[in-house]
Amino acid sequence: MTTTNATSELRRVLGERLEGGGTWAWAYADVSGNVEDPRRQAALKLRAVEESLRAQGASAEVVDTIAGEFEQEPGMPSPVARYVLVHDGELVLSEVLPGHLHGAEAIGVGAVPDLVPLVAHRPIDLPFLVVQVGKDGGGYRAFRLGHPATADDEERISGETFDQHKVKGGFGDWKQPRWQRRTEEVWRQNTAEVAAAVDRAVTRLDPALVVVAGDSQTRPMLLEKLSSKARGLVSEVPGGGFDETVLGDHTRVALARVLATHRHDLEDLVRTHVGRGDDQAVTGLGPVVEALQQAQGATVALDAVAIGDETLLALGAAPWIATTPDRAAGAPVIGPVPAVCALVRAAVLTEAELVLVNAASLPSGAPAAALLRWPVGPSVPA
């Protein structure tokens, strides 16, 4: 599997806007409809978003723009959140984010946007397939982690049918094995067609996960026909049938395992390098800022909660971030901003991978750490 980090997508979408100043306004909130009196709850949510934006100095036009996006139906099952971003009065992003909120709701106005919700929902560009198979065929649907489903990438195989009830009598015992064999041949043919479609999708999309659900008799036939690459990505939904709730719950757990493995691998690598003292990793806010200033950070790990209310300076040119004005390297200072926002912005602008972690998993409980593109150089004698 080849994945693209969230920072790459943000860099592509936000482009030069993120480099300069201006005024940003954003809102991240739950828009799930599976609540009592959903219309009233949606109206209350919208009012809270509008009041918070006004209280922070957003113009009437900006408030109306963001409110207009929150008035739109999310168009997907609950739970679901929405993230809206406006820069200098222009709508830049309006994203529907599947799943529960990742952390607290975020509504703000400032010189640097809060992009943490997007990183939390889309830590990596992770494609995955959901496959359903039955006696009469099946198919797959392709998804991207943190993105709404679309009908653009799915395939349904409607295979040959055969009346299985003929096996149960009316022709004499001597004919039943022949009918049973014919029935199973039809099933195998249908599942082989589904497997071929899944294999093509795996080759084209390079997913990290293939969830397989459906009939308990034809599912083993499907797995047998899949390529070794596809079979190695499979996570089977327990039991048979097509219960959407069971399928959704299983898929969420399977995706969480993939992400946890990705995060744990990074944490292990940081601990290993720090333990060796080989200068391939740094920990702590100051050292991570220095690494970002030099575009030296290959991967940055942050715990937004542990960083808390710390602030850093956002700069209007490289090196993009600084702890104090005298460390700005001559770049214009946009101003002090929440440290998490400054770090995420610098990671995006220097194309560093960004991973949200728990500080307890980093050496000495550091709130931030970075794996480096090249080692820290030796100290220069005075």
Q: State the burial class of residue 217 (Cβ atoms within 10 Å of its Cβ: 0-12, 13-18, 19+).
A: middle
Q: Specify which of 121-135, 154-168, 335-349 reaches the highest per-range mean pLDDT.
A: 335-349
Pairwise CA distance, residues 240 & 225, whole Å? 19
Phi, psi of 55 (to 5 degrees): -65, -25
Element (H, E) at 354: strand 353-356
Residue 131: predicted pLDDT: 95
Percent of the chain with pLDDT strictly greater than 90:
71
- pLDDT, tens digit (0-9, with 9 covering 90-100), for 335-368: 999 999 999 999 999 999 999 999 999 999 999 9
More confident residue, 116 or 178: 116
Name the pairing type of β-strands 297-302 and 281-283. Answer: unpaired
pLDDT band at 169 (very low <50, low <70, confident <90, very high): very low
Mean pLDDT for the stretch of residues 116-137: 91
Residue 87: beta bridge partners? 24, 90
Mean pLDDT for the stretch of residues 227-251: 90
- pLDDT, tens digit (0-9, with 9 covering 90-100), for 198-236: 999 999 999 999 999 988 888 999 999 999 999 999 999
- pTM, entire model: 0.85
pLDDT band at 164 (very low <50, low <70, confident <90, very high): very low
Residue 152: predicted pLDDT: 63
Residue 132 pLDDT greater than 90, yes or no: yes
Residue 4 pLDDT greater than 70, yes or no: no
Residue 241: predicted pLDDT: 72
Mean pLDDT over each residue of the chain, to the nearest integer: 89
- pLDDT, tens digit (0-9, with 9 covering 90-100), for 90-126: 999 999 999 899 999 999 999 999 999 999 999 888 9
Residue 134: predicted pLDDT: 87
